[in-house]
Amino acid sequence: MLRIGFFLNLFEGWLGGVNYYRNLLTAICENLSKDISPVVFLVSRNNDILDGFPPVEVVRDSTFERLKMRWFMRKLNERFFDKNFVLEKLLIDNNIDLLSHSSFFGGPHSCLTVATERLPVIGWIPDFQHVHLADIFSEKEIRERDRGFREICRKSSTVLLSSKSAQKDLALFAPEYYHKSRVLQFVVKPLDYKNLADQSELEHRYKFSGPYFYLPNQFWLHKNHSLVVNALKILKDRGKKVTIIVTGNTGDYRNLNYYEQLLADTKNSELLESFRILGLVPYRHMASLMYHSIAVINPSFFEGWSTTVEEAKSYGKRVILSDISVHREQNPENAVYFDPHDAEELSDILWNDWNAYNLNDDKRFRKKAAEMFPERWKEFAEKYLALVMESKFNNQGGTLP
């Protein structure tokens, strides 16, 4: 059995990353228990990050505690050497056969890029958002991401992308490393329907009533919440009203005033009852809000591989999506697309779906999704195992040149 190491180097607030690892590790434990034993090295000091994770081996080490001796040694190693001896020793001491999803995130939440000389490494680049949306990043963060991504490409045995769209971006960003690239499109496991909250419980907890759309994106500028507010303004001017429940982290480290400005605009437009912001909610409630909604909305300008869309696919929910390449690639069966710059087009879709919603159709899609999920889930795990075996075989215990 292979012991696969994972460094959970997730900066605070990136819920998509937490969900990604939760689903990947769950898929491994449920489908590959005879082949792979995951070992999580907890970089974050926040133990709550493991809520909902499967029972995997967890290693906490002073290497990741600020101002500890091993922490200083690691920092010096990273500064003056191209080989990460400290982390390599940590992995070898824990009998790790392969390091998976080594990654880098620039800006104020930088996390180390891990690569070793004696172990195969699967590097992970979720997306090239900083290339497509350079205006929302600082010049320093763009430089750091460029450098970090190139280090992943250079030092990894396999460079893992979450979508074919991101793989195409890699071909332009670092064509000399394209041959290392592989795509793993992740799948989200739904909660057992028996564990979901009833709509009445949600209405009582969050003070709303009746049908609603659901928008579960973090309040980051590129998630494009403002377009949804503008669509609601158009409907209001026409004497029409729909309700949208909105959840997600309200902080954006790159645009500190974004949420406050959006909230002020919503309030000034007298749309607080239509655009119901709940902020962060427990995962069980998030899943329940999705399950009971008319449809799920994702108006984002950019995605690496949308967790929102994958969750909706697993629950059989209708999705109303911005017409971007990744959303098309995810190809949810029950979807409608709109121009992410066209609030009027979105308003028409919202009003049509509000009036056309049929619970029997919804139940039919839920049933079909439930029937299809086991095969999708198994295929996701098997594709990951194939990547691990290929990386280990090609690397043969040392980083590729």
Structural contact between residues 330 and 305, judged by C-beta atoms closer than 8 angstroms: yes
Residue 299 located in a structural domain: yes
Q: Is the pLDDT of residue 73 over 90?
A: no
β-pair partners for 234: none
225 alpha carbon, distance to own chain's centre:
17
- 316 and 242 share one domain: yes
- 75 and 29 share one domain: yes
- 381 and 235 share one domain: no
Please provide the average confidence, as pLDDT, over all residues in the chain: 88
Residues 6 or more apart whose Cβ sits within 8 Å of residue 187: 23, 27, 310, 314, 376, 377, 379, 380
- 203 and 282 share one domain: yes
Q: Is the pLDDT of residue 110 over 60?
A: no
Residue 369 located in a structural domain: no
Residue 372 located in a structural domain: no
Q: With b meaning 16 or more CB within 10 Å and e meaning fewer, what string describes 77-115?
A: beeeeeebebbbebbeeeebbbbbbbbbbbbeeebbbbb
Residue 36 located in a structural domain: yes
- 390 and 343 share one domain: no
Residue 83: pLDDT band with limits 50, 70, 90 = low
- DSSP classification of residue 338: E
Q: Is the pLDDT of residue 396 over 60?
A: no
Residue 233 located in a structural domain: yes
Mean pLDDT of 144-154: 90
- 167 and 53 share one domain: yes
Q: Is the pLDDT of residue 380 over 60?
A: yes
- 202 and 171 share one domain: no
What is the residue-wise DSSP string for 85-119? HHHHHHHHHTT-SEEEEE--B-GGG-B-----SSS
- 333 and 385 share one domain: no
Residues 6 or more apart whose Cβ sits within 8 Å of residue 319: 295, 296, 297, 298, 308, 309, 312, 313, 332, 334, 335, 336
- 150 and 213 share one domain: no
Determine the Cα–Cα distance for residues 395 and 399; give it in Å rounded to an integer: 6
**CATH code at 75?**
3.40.50.2000
Residue 365 located in a structural domain: no
Task: Give tens-digit pLDDT for 20-34.
Answer: 899 999 999 999 999
Give the pLDDT score at 10. Answer: 55
- 214 and 352 share one domain: yes
Q: Is the pLDDT of residue 312 over 70?
A: yes
- DSSP classification of residue 8: -
Give the pLDDT score at 90. Answer: 85
Computed on alpha carbons and rounded to an integer, the radius of gyration of the chain in Å comes to 22
Query: Among 42-46, 64-68, 270-274, which is the least confidently predicted range?
Result: 64-68
Q: What is the pTM of this model?
A: 0.89
- 78 and 169 share one domain: yes
Q: Is the pLDDT of residue 398 over 60?
A: no
Q: Torsions phi, psi of 366, nearest 5?
A: -60, -45
Q: Is the pLDDT of residue 78 over 80?
A: no
45 alpha carbon, distance to own chain's centre:
20
Q: HSE (CB half, 13 Å, CA atoms) of 232?
A: 24
Specify the higher pLDDT residue, 12 or 18: 18
Residue 400 located in a structural domain: no
Residue 363 located in a structural domain: no
Structural contact between residues 151 and 113, judged by C-beta atoms closer than 8 angstroms: yes
Structural contact between residues 343 and 202, judged by C-beta atoms closer than 8 angstroms: no
Percent of the chain at pLDDT > 90 equals 70
Determine the Cα–Cα distance for residues 120 and 88; give it in Å rounded to an integer: 11
User: In terms of residue numbers, what domain contains 37?
Assistant: 2-184+377-395
- 66 and 90 share one domain: yes
**What total number of domains does the chain contain?**
2
